[in-house]
Amino acid sequence: METEDKKILLVEDDPNFGTVLKDYLAMNDYEVTHAKNGMEGFEKFKKDDFDLCILDVMMPYKDGFTLAKEIRDKNEEIPIIFLTAKAMKEDVLKGYKVGADDYLNKPFDSEVLLMKIKAIMQRKATDSVADSKQFEFEIGKFHLNSKLRFLTYDGGEPQKLSPKENELLRLLALHENDLMPRELALTKIWRDDNYFTSRSMDVYIAKLRKYLKIDENVEILNIHGEGFRLVVRNEEKDEE
Amino acid sequence: METEDKKILLVEDDPNFGTVLKDYLAMNDYEVTHAKNGMEGFEKFKKDDFDLCILDVMMPYKDGFTLAKEIRDKNEEIPIIFLTAKAMKEDVLKGYKVGADDYLNKPFDSEVLLMKIKAIMQRKATDSVADSKQFEFEIGKFHLNSKLRFLTYDGGEPQKLSPKENELLRLLALHENDLMPRELALTKIWRDDNYFTSRSMDVYIAKLRKYLKIDENVEILNIHGEGFRLVVRNEEKDEE
DNA sequence: AAAGTCTGTTAACATTTGGTTAAACCGTCA
DNA sequence: TGACGGTTTAACCAAATGTTAACAGACTTT
């Protein structure tokens, strides 16, 4: 199953057509941001992380090509599809020159557009190099591999972690010895901060404590009303 | 930046049009092999290493889609452009389903075709960062030859693998000991990510496990909701 | 110290995802 | 056309994950 929906930036000045198209795409499980002109399009582009751009060529203020060039400056990877009313050869060529991935003449069949989007996304999915996110942590004698979702203690048997356990421990590790605010975990992992998610998080804290308790020097402390703190002591001399 | 000329396989039954197109492409520094029908096209495809295929859809003996499917079986990477006289939506969709990279309606502007070819080639050039056509793998005591599609254990009898089995195991091997995301296999091998393809993939995972289970040190682990992981342990001392 | 809030823990439950088997399907080839 | 290999679909079960409830205990504030 796919992680989350792909984000599409749609820049189209015709409000009717734009809205219809947006709805159609949304219906097909894409998360669509609709900008009404090139300026706005570029603003929105900078503010978010999109997986694909669909640009109308003919627009006031800033046409699709100019916008495409600016977008390419910021991101030379992102696929771009142009929409155009007139089927002028020069335009098509120009489009490909700025790195278009595809080109559609209006009116076009929406199903065809959908297939093109799919095809392009698939292409991209292939070469997703793996964004260098931080995946591995040393927590005292523990080692957390949060990509493969397991935790090992002193080289022993890996303990599998559930997605939530994993994300939570990762967040704590990112803030090692420092406050990890409740709110942060709730908004990042549970995507909502309310009574129930908060209780749920407490359940997960309990689970993590269970895993971690084999190491004297690692523990999760609560900071009442604030959040949690993953404490890692240097194991000097403890008992003798 | 091109090293040597790119090789194009052109399959087009109309001798006049085919010849003209071939010459035009040749003039633009592509090395073109022209086949007059699907059969011949497939023969030539098998005999050489092409960078791109341009297939007419309507052809005697074997139409473009059928040919494309056969080509895809052999090579899931190679870009395919379809040419078609009629602009039927069903055809277009069918084309994308078999993994078309683009679609052109006759008559088309030759310059546009050229741009498309360029765009596609470029895409491939950047995409194939680590294309590394790797065909042979050591997986514990197994040896996988994924070009000839067989798997041997400790030099024993080769086990033939079906195309899907083979591709899946190859993908797993490419990510040995690391996560191989479900989505990756689905988009690369099944070319679609939905409930059914996902179930189908699970069936293939089961088949692979059956092959692999004779080696204690090799196994396919699931990472719930993420994908699979081909684990290969060093066979140190196990029992004594 | 009493009330009220916040946290810890366990367990029951619901939901989603994965594993396996077998049957249906489909194109190819004798 | 009928057998065959490969693939998909269906069905069913098992495992994994997440949510909620309930209650005990801890912390804060009066």
pLDDT in tens, A5-25: 688 999 999 999 899 899 888
DSSP states of B47-61: HS--SEEEEESS-SS
Q: Which amino acid is at A99?
A: G
- Least confident piece of the model among A87-101, B33-47, B136-150: A87-101
Number of residues in chain A: 240
Give how far B100 is from chain A: nearest CA, Å: 8
Interatomic distance A219 CA / C2 C1' (Å): 32
* B100 contacts A109? CB cut-off 8 A: no
CA A75 to centroid of chain Cα atoms: 16
State what percent of residues in chain B have pLDDT above 70. Answer: 88
Per-chain mean pLDDT for chain B:
84
Q: Does B123 touch chain A (CB under 8 A)?
A: yes
Which regions of chain B does DSSP assign to beta strands (E)? 6-11, 30-35, 52-56, 80-84, 102-105, 136-139, 142-145, 150-153, 159-160, 179-181, 218-223, 227-232
How many other C-beta atoms are found inside a 10 Å radius of the C-beta of residue B219?
15
Per residue in A145-158, pLDDT tens? 999 999 999 888 89
pLDDT value of residue B46? 83
Q: Does B111 touch chain A (CB under 8 A)?
A: yes
Set of chain B residues whose Cβ sits within 8 Å of the Cβ of A93: 111-112, 115
Per residue in A158-203, pLDDT tens? 999 999 999 999 999 999 999 999 999 998 999 888 888 999 999 9
Nearest to B115 among A93, A119, A125 (CB): A93
DSSP state of A188: I
Nearest to A126 among B89, B92, B127 (CB): B127
* B129 contacts A129? CB cut-off 8 A: yes
pLDDT value of residue B70? 83
* Model confidence at B86: pLDDT above 70: no
Contact (CB, 8 A) for B42 and B70? yes
Contact (CB, 8 A) for A13 and A35? no
* B111 contacts A93? CB cut-off 8 A: yes
pLDDT value of residue A128? 47
Which regions of B146-234 does DSSP assign to beta strands (E)? 150-153, 159-160, 179-181, 218-223, 227-232
Rounded CA separation A213/A234 (Å): 15
Give how far A43 is from chain B: nearest CA, Å: 26
pLDDT value of residue A40? 93
State what percent of residues in chain B have pLDDT above 90. Answer: 40
Place of tokens 């203020």: A61
Which residues fall within 8 angstroms of residue A90, CB to CB, at 6 or more apart? none
* Model confidence at B200: pLDDT above 60: yes
Rounded CA separation B168/B207 (Å): 11
pLDDT value of residue A172? 94
Greater confidence (A80 vs B1) lies with: A80
pLDDT value of residue B1? 45
- Least confident piece of the model among A77-81, B33-37, B96-100: B96-100
Q: Report A:151-170 residues touching B (Cβ under 8 A).
A: 162-163
Rounded CA separation B139/B150 (Å): 13
Angle at which helices A89-97 and A64-74 cross, to 10°: 10
Interval B97-109 mean pLDDT: 74
Give how far B119 is from chain A: nearest CA, Å: 7
pLDDT value of residue A4? 54
Contact (CB, 8 A) for B64 and B35? no
Contact (CB, 8 A) for A59 and A38? yes
Q: Does A120 touch chain B (CB under 8 A)?
A: no
Rounded CA separation B65/B83 (Å): 11
Burial state string for B97-123 with b = 16 or more CB within 10 A and e = fewer than 16: bbbbbbbbeeeeeeebbbbbbebbbeb
Of the candidates A25, A51, A55, A70, the one whose C-alpha atom is nearest the C-alpha of residue A128 is A51
Contact (CB, 8 A) for A83 and A12? yes
Winning range, highest mean pLDDT, from A102-116, A122-136, A179-193, B62-76: A179-193
Rounded CA separation A100/A79 (Å): 7
- Please, which pLDDT band fits residue B64 given cuts at 50, 70 and 90? confident
B206 touches strand C (CB under 7 A): yes
Q: Does B233 touch chain A (CB under 8 A)?
A: no
